[in-house]
């Protein structure tokens, strides 16, 4: 299965959920928002959201400015 994460291609050997992808990418869950195919996914739904071939995933990290 091929997915795009922030315009980078990733090949996954198995169907996984969004929560597992975040773990595989070693991302902190704090301060991020995620959209799949231009639809924002609520954090409470990450574990139930299964990824599909050719999904376009956008991960946005909140940053603080000063």
* Domain carrying residue 51: 2-55
What does the mean pLDDT of the chain come to? 94
Residue 43 included in any domain: yes
Q: List, for residues 28-46, the tens digit of each pLDDT value.
A: 899 999 999 999 999 999 9
In the prediction, which pLDDT does 65 show?
67
Flag whether 60 is in a domain. no
CB 46 within 8 A of CB 23: no
What total number of domains does the chain contain? 1
Residue 49 lies in a domain: yes
pLDDT confidence band for 66 (50 / 70 / 90)? low
User: Residue 6 maps to which CATH number?
Assistant: 3.10.20.30
Q: Is residue 51 in some structural domain?
A: yes
Measure the CA–CA gap between 59 and 66, rounded to whole angstroms: 23
Q: Answer yes or no: is 65 within a domain.
A: no
pLDDT score for 11: 95
């Amino acid at each position: 299965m091929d997915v795009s994460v922030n315009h980078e291609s990733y090949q996954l050997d198995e169907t996984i959920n969004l929560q597992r992808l975040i773990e595989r990418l070693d991302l902190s869950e704090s301060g991020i928002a995620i959209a799949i195919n231009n639809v924002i996914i609520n954090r409470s739904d990450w574990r139930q959201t299964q990824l599909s071939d050719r999904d376009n995933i956008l991960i946005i990290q909140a940053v603080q400015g000063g």
